[in-house]
């Protein structure tokens, strides 16, 4: 007999003498890949795992196969049932854990991350599922990630700082292309640093209002310090930026996202001119700039 939850045999089938044609070694009719046996009944097809052996599908890439699997009505129904079961006391952890494993197998790392967060006691389930469906309503579904780690990182940032800020953090490497960095030794510098996305509500509101964090307005090319330039880690520079943002927010207590966006665009423009003059054309390290 077989426990499908752990994938292990725990006893010999008590009816094996009566049905000798079913050898104890012929589990599930000797079709363990595409059939399953529940509670000693006749084997049944695992519809969500089956793929027609046609010539067209036999040449499918893993990515296309995963996409077909995750988009099937049966799989969507299974995920929905497991989501609901996740709220059941004593069973929720198993349901959410199973959901996370299936999503990971499908390559849907974001939903796997949602299910993983749902495993957290004391509100993790309601928080994650509530955020998941709020994303669906807002039209923010459909994101794909290269790894489970990247999905969890994005999800954590989205829940804490907002979806658009999480996107800006995840896509920070796109700045180099936006400002056309091609020369060897040059680096793309975020004028308003990435750290500000996690520490300043001014930046978060501005990004929500449309501030192009990884665009030309917030970028400048600076030669790397180890290449004879002025750009490297810049904690002092970042600290001064954050102090300016805090000061502005205190002077404009009821500011809107549009006002924050307008302020950042002007502030970034002013800083870009300063960096160009003192660190690109001059020799002052970015971290040594005095920002007022």
Average pLDDT estimate for 69-83: 55
Q: Tell me what pLDDT residue 154 has.
A: 78
CA-based Rg of the chain, rounded to a whole angstrom?
Answer: 27
CB burial of residue 108 (10 Å; 0-12, 13-18, 19+): buried
Question: What pTM was estimated for this model as a whole?
Answer: 0.58
Residue-wise pLDDT tens digits, 85-103? 444 455 445 566 565 666 6
The segment with the largest mean pLDDT, out of 133-137, 167-171, 240-244, is 240-244
Least confident segment among 18-22, 66-70, 238-242, 276-280: 66-70
User: So where are the chain's domains?
Assistant: 1-45, 55-161, 173-288
Residue-wise pLDDT tens digits, 229-272? 999 999 999 999 999 999 999 999 999 999 999 999 999 999 99
Give me the residue label for tokens 């049966």: 74
Residue 223 phi/psi, 5° resolution? -70, 140
Residue-wise pLDDT tens digits, 217-227? 999 999 999 99
């Amino acid at each position: 007999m077989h426990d499908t939850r752990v994938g292990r045999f725990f006893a010999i089938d008590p009816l094996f003498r009566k049905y000798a044609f079913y050898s104890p070694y012929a589990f599930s009719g000797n079709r363990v890949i595409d059939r399953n046996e529940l509670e000693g009944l006749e084997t049944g097809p695992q519809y969500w795992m089956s793929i027609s052996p046609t010539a067209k599908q036999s040449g499918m890439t893993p990515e296309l196969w995963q996409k077909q699997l995750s988009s099937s009505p049966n799989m969507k129904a299974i995920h929905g049932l497991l989501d609901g079961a996740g709220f059941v006391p004593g069973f929720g952890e198993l349901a959410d854990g199973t959901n996370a494993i299936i999503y990971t197998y499908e390559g849907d790392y974001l939903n796997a991350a949602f299910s993983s967060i749902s495993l957290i006691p004391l509100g993790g389930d309601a928080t994650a599922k509530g955020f998941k469906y709020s994303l669906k309503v807002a039209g923010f579904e459909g994101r794909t990630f290269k790894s489970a780690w990247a999905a969890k990182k994005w999800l954590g940032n989205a829940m804490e700082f907002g979806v658009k800020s999480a996107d800006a953090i995840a896509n920070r490497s796109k700045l180099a292309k936006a400002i056309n960095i091609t020369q060897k030794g040059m680096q793309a510098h975020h004028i308003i640093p990435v750290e500000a996305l996690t520490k300043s509500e001014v930046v978060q509101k501005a990004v929500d209002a449309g501030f192009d964090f990884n665009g030309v307005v917030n970028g400048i090319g600076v030669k790397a310090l180890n290449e004879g330039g002025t750009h490297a880690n810049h904690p002092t520079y970042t600290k001064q930026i954050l102090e300016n943002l805090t000061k502005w927010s205190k002077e404009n207590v009821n500011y809107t996202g549009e006002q924050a966006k307008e302020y950042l665009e002007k502030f970034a423009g002013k800083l870009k001119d300063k960096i160009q003059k003192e660190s690109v054309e001059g020799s002052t390290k970015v971290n040594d700039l005095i920002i007022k």
